[in-house]
Amino acid sequence: MFKFEGANILSVKQFDRESIEYLFRIADAMQPYAHRQKQTKVLDGAILGNLFFEPSTRTRVSFGTAFNLLGGHVRETTGLSSSALAKGESLYDTARVLSSYSDVIAMRHPDSGSVAEFATGSRVPVINGGDGANEHPTQALLDLYTIQKEQHAHQAGIDGMHIALIGDLKHGRTVHSLCKLLCLYQNLKITLISPKELAMPDEVVSAIENAGHQCVITEQLEGHLDADIVYQTRIQQERFPSEEEANLYRGKFRLNQAIYTQHCKSNTVIMHPLPRDSRADANELDNDLNLNPNLAIFRQADNGVLVRMALFAATLGVQDIVNRYETQV
In the complex, which residues of this chain contact ligand CP (CB under 6 A)? 56-60, 130, 139, 273-275
**What one-character-per-residue DSSP string does 147-201 give?**
HHHHHHHTT--STT-EEEEES-TTT-HHHHHHHHHHTTSSS-EEEEE--GGGPPP
Element (H, E) at 321: none
**CA–CA distance, 142 with 131 (Å, rounded to integer):** 17
Q: Name the amino acid, one letter, at 299.
A: R
Closest by Cα among 156, 155, 144 to 184: 144
Pairing assessment for the beta strands 47-52 and 73-78 based on DSSP bridges: parallel
Measured from the CB atom, is 150 or 213 closer to ligand CP?
150
Measured from the CB atom, is 108 or 252 closer to ligand CP?
108
**CA–CA distance, 149 with 157 (Å, rounded to integer):** 9
Measured from the CB atom, is 72 or 129 closer to ligand CP?
129
Measured from the CB atom, is 300 or 319 closer to ligand CP?
300
Measured from the CB atom, is 94 or 233 closer to ligand CP?
233
Q: Identify the three-state secondary structure at position 118.
A: helix
State the nearest-atom distance from the C-beta of 172 to ligand CP, in Å.
10
- From residue 156, how far is each of 135, 148, 149, 152 by CA, in Å? 28, 8, 9, 5
State the nearest-atom distance from the C-beta of 273 to ligand CP, in Å.
4
- From residue 91, how far is each of 10, 88, 132 by CA, in Å? 15, 9, 15
State the nearest-atom distance from the C-beta of 98 to ligand CP, in Å.
20
State the nearest-atom distance from the C-beta of 256 to ligand CP, in Å.
21
Measured from the CB atom, is 64 or 130 closer to ligand CP?
130
State the nearest-atom distance from the C-beta of 293 to ligand CP, in Å.
22
State the nearest-atom distance from the C-beta of 64 to ligand CP, in Å.
11
State the nearest-atom distance from the C-beta of 306 to ligand CP, in Å.
15
Measured from the CB atom, is 274 or 322 closer to ligand CP?
274
